[in-house]
Amino acid sequence: MADDTDMKTWLAEFQAVTDGAGDADPARGRALSALVQAELPGLGFDGSHEAYVKLLDSLADGGPADE
Amino acid sequence: MSDDLHRLSLSEVAAAIAGGELTSAEVTEAAIERLETAGPALHAVQAMDADAAMQAARAADAERARGALRGPLHGVPLAHKDMFYRAGRVTGCGSRIRADFVPETTARVLQGLDAAGALDIARLNMVEFAYGVTGHNEVTGTPRNPWNTDHITGGSSSGSGAAVAGRLIYGALGSDTGGSIRFPCCCNGVVGMKPTWSRVSRFGAMPLSLSLDTIGPITRTVRDNALMFQAIAGHDPRDPTSSRRAVDDMSKDLDAGVKGLRVAVPENYFYDPVDPGVAALVRASLDVLADAGAELVAVTVPETMALANTMTNLLTATEGAALHQNWLQTRFDDYGRQTRARLMSGLTIPASRYLQARNLRAPILAEFADAVFGKADVLHIPVMVTGAPTIAESDAAANPGFMDMITAMGHCTRPINYLGLPALTVPCGFLENGLPTAFQLVGRPFAEAALFRAGQAYQAATDWHAELPLNG
């Protein structure tokens, strides 16, 4: 990644990898990038499994259960 | 009656054994005969120990004679996807690599069914390492659809779907990471619960994606499914992601109907690529719910649904690759080609993309919950966008459009895994080619009881679930 050409090549490969892992639709990869940019302030969220269990619990009917 | 034992439902058999009208030995003997005679044509069974099964059945009958019923499934023979560990017994995972693996522990889900009194009499075929949607398995063989054996069963719980639909067994466990309970239920015309992520312990179950894996029952009726689900749900300290939330009583309001239930009908995304024949049957099921008193509510789901589909693929590939990396290096030739290729694709995904997929789950779920559950109690959507294709046309080697096909298959299922929400699959009729299709009801987190109630109301008004396949 010494110059812009290398960087563009790397980015193209990066995009292709993401698309290949997904719906094989280049628009999806671009949309994901846009979403990540939009959500940057919130990406400090704790993405751990434990945090997600708590989030699910908070969204259940009647709210979180007592533990 | 003995000639028709295999046609009884799980609930009917459980009640008959508990009431003394049938013995576990009678029912189990009939199930073994069914597995041996009708099973080979479906290639659903991986292994069965008939002697051990009959011994367990006679022990159950002796317990009942002493007035000691273990639980609501006392003496009922079941069989499960070959990925749930039982101490001292092989768990093959549909693979050559694990063909001789004998675990030292027993899966929490099997312990739950044992405690409820069920018998575990056979291991059922599955997609290799549960990584595939069609049901193809080039290592242990491909199960066949009991409605037309030229067609796929759907995967990855392929043997479970075929065995239950083919009246080989009364109920079976499956697992669902991107649709692996719901595809076989849709293709074979049976009922499946993909529970809320964290509701059912994964302890002792073969992992594929820790972020997405769920375990649930596959049965002929909603009532049967609720009965099995009750036995496997609940907190387990051995699974660190297991929820501590109390489990609802699934039978309490099962027959309470859907009067006043708000059913969300999506105006975008879910029906976009659905074949007209499938869409017509799925929409007709809405009329049944409306006639039963449900209120239909139009909703617009967030545009992030398409990303949720993509990111389920991404999480599964990445986490699956991490689990399999050592075997990919040391046992390369022992994998089936399709499984190996898909696992290896996960090795190339950047860590940054993986973390984004994990972190975006929360805001995407919050957005979805607001859009759907802010207006309704459950979401009603298709399961598959087409009918089950033939085994030949969906073979990876013969079909250059294979990746497009499996991506389309997951259009309605994978986003639900990403969100972590519960989804009940209910069969709703037959397509022009004679194969079944189904709808799914998606609920708030931990709303499995509400889904069972709605599914039961549908089955009380219809009889699709009573139709018998070939030789059924």
Q: Is the pLDDT of residue B396 over 80?
A: no
Predicted TM-score (pTM) of this structure: 0.92
List residues bridging with A31 in a β-sheet. none
Q: Which residues of B touch A50 (CB under 8 A)?
A: 240-241
The answer to whether the Cβ–Cβ distance between A50 and B349 falls below 8 Å is no
Q: Is B172 helix (H, G, I), strand (E, B) or coil?
A: strand
B127 belongs to a structural domain: yes
Q: How many residues does chain A have?
A: 67
**pLDDT band at residue B356, thresholds of 50, 70 and 90?**
confident
pLDDT: which is higher, B437 or A17? B437
B472 belongs to a structural domain: no
Q: In which domain, by residue range, is B300 found? A: 2-466
**pLDDT band at residue A33, thresholds of 50, 70 and 90?**
low
CB-based contacts of B319, cutoff 8 Å, min separation 6 = B208, B209, B210, B211, B212, B346
Task: State yes or no: is B352 an active-site residue.
Answer: no
The answer to whether the Cβ–Cβ distance between A61 and B306 falls below 8 Å is no
**Mean of pLDDT values over B277-303:** 97
pLDDT: which is higher, A48 or B26? B26
CB-based contacts of B214, cutoff 8 Å, min separation 6 = B175, B176, B177, B181, B194, B195, B196, B197, B199, B200, B202, B417
CB B92 within 8 A of CB B98: yes
Angle subtended at Cα A44 by Cα A40 and Cα A48, rounded to the nearest 5 degrees = 125
CATH number at residue B270: 3.90.1300.10
Task: State yes or no: is B243 an active-site residue.
Answer: no
- How close B323 comes to chain A (CA, Å)? 17
Please name the amino acid found at residue B403. M
**DSSP label of B139:** T
The answer to whether the Cβ–Cβ distance between B356 and A28 falls below 8 Å is no
pLDDT: which is higher, B69 or A42? B69
Q: What is the per-residue pLDDT across B170-191, written as a single tens digit (0 to 9) for each?
A: 999 999 999 999 999 999 999 9
Of the candidates B196, B350, B362, which has its C-beta nearest A45's C-beta? B362
**Mean of pLDDT values over A12-26:** 50
Give the pLDDT of residue A9: 57
B275 belongs to a structural domain: yes
Give the pLDDT of residue A22: 46
The answer to whether the Cβ–Cβ distance between B362 and A51 falls below 8 Å is yes
- How close B208 comes to chain A (CA, Å)? 15
Give the pLDDT of residue B349: 86
Of the candidates A23, A32, A49, which has its C-beta nearest B210's C-beta? A49
From B156, B175, B285, B394, active-site residue = B156
**Mean of pLDDT values over B412-434:** 97
- How close B261 comes to chain A (CA, Å)? 14
Binning chain A into helix, strand and coil, the percentages to the nearest 5 are 65, 0, 35
B471 belongs to a structural domain: no
Q: Is the pLDDT of residue B350 over 90?
A: no
Give the pLDDT of residue B341: 86
The answer to whether the Cβ–Cβ distance between A52 and B309 falls below 8 Å is no
**pLDDT band at residue A1, thresholds of 50, 70 and 90?**
very low
Q: Which residues of B touch A40 (CB under 8 A)?
A: none
Enter the tokens of residue B245.
């939330």
Q: Is B278 helix (H, G, I), strand (E, B) or coil?
A: helix
Of the candidates B304, B309, B444, which has its C-beta nearest A61's C-beta? B444
The answer to whether the Cβ–Cβ distance between A23 and B304 falls below 8 Å is no
Nearest chain B residue to A24 by CA distance is: B404
List residues bridging with B119 in a β-sheet. B77
Q: What is the per-residue pLDDT across B361-391, written as a single tens digit (0 to 9) for each?
A: 988 999 999 999 999 999 999 999 999 999 9
B174 belongs to a structural domain: yes
Q: In a mutagenesis test of the B interface, which of A11, A56, A66 is the best target, namely the one with the most B β-carbons within 10 Å?
A: A56
Total number of domains in chain B:
1
The answer to whether the Cβ–Cβ distance between A60 and B245 falls below 8 Å is yes
Of the candidates A18, A21, A56, which has its C-beta nearest B420's C-beta? A56
pLDDT: which is higher, B217 or A31? B217
Of the candidates A32, A42, A60, which has its C-beta nearest B310's C-beta? A32
Angle subtended at Cα B413 by Cα B258 and Cα B299, rounded to the nearest 5 degrees = 50
**Mean of pLDDT values over B282-291:** 98
The answer to whether the Cβ–Cβ distance between A57 and B210 falls below 8 Å is no
B92 belongs to a structural domain: yes
Task: State yes or no: is B242 an active-site residue.
Answer: no
Q: Which residues of A touch B246 (CB under 8 A)?
A: 65
With a pLDDT cut of 70, the percent of chain B lying above it is: 100
**pLDDT band at residue B2, thresholds of 50, 70 and 90?**
low
B294 belongs to a structural domain: yes
Please name the amino acid found at residue A27. A
pLDDT: which is higher, A45 or B155? B155
B391 belongs to a structural domain: yes
Average pLDDT, chain A: 63
